Structure 1
Amino acid sequence: MDRVQISEGLQGSDGLVRRPASPSTGGAHEHRWWILAVIGMAQLMVVLDATIVNIALPSAQQDLGFTDGNRQWIVTAYALAFGSLLLLGGRIADLVGRKLVFMVGLAGFAGASALGGAAGSFTMLVTARALQGIFAALLAPAALSLLTTTFTDPKERAKAFGIYGAIAGTGGAVGLLLGGVLTEYLDWRWCLYVNLAIAALALVGGSRLLHGGRPDDRPKLDVPGTLLVSAGLFCIVYGFSNAETHAWSSASTWGFLVIGALLVAAFAWWQTRATHPLLPLRVVLDRDRGASFLAMFISGAGMFGVFLFLTYYLQQILAYTPVKTGLAFLPMVGVMIVASVVTTNNLVPRMGAKPIVPLGMGLSAAGMVWMTALDLNSGYLTHVLPPLLVLGLGLGLIFAPAMSMATMGVEAHDAGVASAMVNTSQQVGGSIGTALLNTLATSAATNYLVGRQPTPDVMAEAQLRSYSTAYWWSALFFALGLVVSYVLYRRGAPAQQQGEATTVHV
Structure 2
Amino acid sequence: MDEKEITDVTWIPLLLISLAAFIITLDSTFMNVAISQLITDLNTTVSTVQLIISFYTLITASLMLIGSRLQDIIGKKKVFLIGAGIYGIGALLAAISQNALMLFTGWSLLEGIGGSLMTPATISIASQTYKSDKRTFALAMISAMAGIAAAIGPLFGGIVTTFLSWRYGFVLELLIIIVVFIFSGKIQNFEPTLTKKDFDLTGSILLIFGLMSFVLGILLLEEDVIITVSLVILSLVILSLFASYEYGLTKGEKTPLIDINMLKVRNLSVGTLIRLITSLAMGGSLFAISIFLQSVLKYDAFTTGLNLLPATVGILLSSIIAPKLTSKINHKTLIRVGFLISMLAATILSTRFGVNTTFSTIAPGMFLFGLGLGFVLSLGIDISLAGTKEKNQSTASGLLSTGQTLGMSMGTAIIGCMLIVGATWGLHDAVNTYAPNQINDEQFHAESQEYLQKMGQINITELQGDTSIKEQIVNTVLTDAMKFVMSVTSAILAIGLLLTLALNDIKSYQLKRLKK
Q: Same fold (TM over 0.5)?
A: yes
Counterpart in the other structure of 1:471: 486
CA distance in 2, matches of 1:225, 1:71: 30
Counterpart in the other structure of 1:266: 241
2:203 maps to a residue whose letter is G
- Maintained 8 Å contact 2:77/2:187: yes
SS in 2 for 1:32: coil
Relative distance call for 1:439 and 1:112 in structure 2 (3 A) is: closer
Counterpart in the other structure of 2:177: 199
Relative distance call for 1:423 and 1:502 in structure 2 (3 A) is: farther
1:493 to 2:470 alignment: no
1:420 to 2:398 alignment: yes
How far off is 1:101 after superposition? Answer: 0.8
- Maintained 8 Å contact 2:33/2:294: no
Counterpart in the other structure of 1:213: 190
How far off is 1:309 after superposition? Answer: 2.1
Relative distance call for 1:71 and 1:158 in structure 2 (3 A) is: closer
Counterpart in the other structure of 2:322: 343
Counterpart among 359, 366, 380 of residue 344 in structure 2: 366
How far off is 1:216 after superposition? Answer: 4.1
How far off is 1:210 after superposition? Answer: 0.6
1:334 to 2:277 alignment: no
2:433 maps to a residue whose letter is R
Relative distance call for 1:125 and 1:459 in structure 2 (3 A) is: closer
Counterpart in the other structure of 1:452: 433
Counterpart among 279, 298, 309 of residue 288 in structure 2: 309
How many residue pairs match? The answer is: 472
CA distance in 1, matches of 2:387, 2:75: 19
CA distance in 2, matches of 1:72, 1:108: 23
Counterpart among 111, 121, 131 of residue 89 in structure 2: 111
Counterpart in the other structure of 1:52: 30
User: For 1:10-29, what aligned pairs fall within 5 Å after superposition?
Assistant: 28-29=6-7
Relative distance call for 1:403 and 1:27 in structure 2 (3 A) is: farther
CA distance in 2, matches of 1:128, 1:443: 28
CA distance in 2, matches of 1:45, 1:167: 9
Counterpart in the other structure of 2:464: none
- Maintained 8 Å contact 1:56/1:191: no
How far off is 1:73 after superposition? Answer: 4.1
Counterpart in the other structure of 1:7: none
Counterpart among 230, 233, 244 of residue 255 in structure 1: 230
How far off is 1:65 after superposition? Answer: 3.7
2:285 maps to a residue whose letter is V
Counterpart among 150, 153, 161 of residue 172 in structure 1: 150
Which region of structure 1 is more displaced relative to structure 2, 134-143 or 460-469?
460-469
Counterpart in the other structure of 2:125: 146
Relative distance call for 1:30 and 1:287 in structure 2 (3 A) is: farther
Counterpart in the other structure of 2:408: 430
Identity across matched positions, percent: 23
Counterpart in the other structure of 1:483: 498
Relative distance call for 1:313 and 1:350 in structure 2 (3 A) is: same
1:75 to 2:89 alignment: no
How far off is 1:332 after superposition? Answer: 2.1
Relative distance call for 1:267 and 1:354 in structure 2 (3 A) is: same
CA distance in 1, matches of 2:4, 2:17: 12
Aligned-residue RMSD, C-alpha:
2.7
Relative distance call for 1:60 and 1:444 in structure 2 (3 A) is: closer
Structure 2 residue runs without a partner (length 5+): 436-468
Counterpart in the other structure of 1:9: none
Which region of structure 1 is more displaced relative to structure 2, 463-472 or 63-72?
63-72
Relative distance call for 1:332 and 1:64 in structure 2 (3 A) is: closer
Relative distance call for 1:248 and 1:359 in structure 2 (3 A) is: farther
CA distance in 1, matches of 2:52, 2:367: 31
1:84 to 2:62 alignment: yes
- Maintained 8 Å contact 2:42/2:98: yes
- Maintained 8 Å contact 1:97/1:214: yes
CA distance in 1, matches of 2:239, 2:158: 38
- Maintained 8 Å contact 2:94/2:103: yes
Counterpart in the other structure of 1:8: none
SS in 1 for 2:191: coil
Deviation sequence 1:257-290 (CA, Å, 0-9, x none): 1121111111111222212121113432211122
- Maintained 8 Å contact 2:344/2:490: yes
SS in 2 for 1:434: helix
Which region of structure 1 is more displaced relative to structure 2, 29-38 or 59-68?
59-68
Structure 1 residue runs without a partner (length 5+): 1-21
**Structure with greater proportional helix content:** 2
